[in-house]
Structure 1
């Protein structure tokens, strides 16, 4: 099991979530020795008109759909993991020299500004 995945799990049970235009999907996953075990899984239709082309248009409808799906399937966890995709998401891999966390945050924002045409202050910047 990779160090990143091990740090995500520890002794926790996590929920993997996929919010799609057609379906909401969830899995409850537990770390098991050197691998992972799917404990429960569920899928249901996305509320009509709430997601289009990867963009959530009705946050309350999607949240309600997720809550209902998790409750019906008996899925629970101490955290959730999901990927973000869509036309407004920009993902770039960059390499930076070793530096302090504060310098890394500043450098990541500067590098991101090269790829994002919108105001960088309106963007969520993440790195690991």
Structure 2
């Protein structure tokens, strides 16, 4: 993945609520910048004008190989439970490349994921 450690990074948007989703009060997306055990996840919640979110390391989202239930609602809202095994591998120190995530997304959804630029807010 292109990007510098403290500059703008190209995140893969791997979870997103469906267009016109019902049963959830606002849109949700999860994007990933894969870089080993320091992989970052961005969470975006709400309509564009009132959007909130945050950036967390993969090791806060995956605890002991499973999804931290504090993030379950977001993963469920945007259909991203399929991503958990990949994140668990990353959190355990296994190398999972951006290409592998793109290929897995394409296999599941029939198209490559969108990308978004975001700063590294962990410094």
Q: Classify the TM-score, shorter chain.
A: 0.3 to 0.5
Calculate the TM-score normalised by the size of structure 1. Answer: 0.32
Of structures 1 and 2, the one with the larger relative CO (CA 8 A, separation 6+) is 2
Calculate the TM-score normalised by the size of structure 2. Answer: 0.33
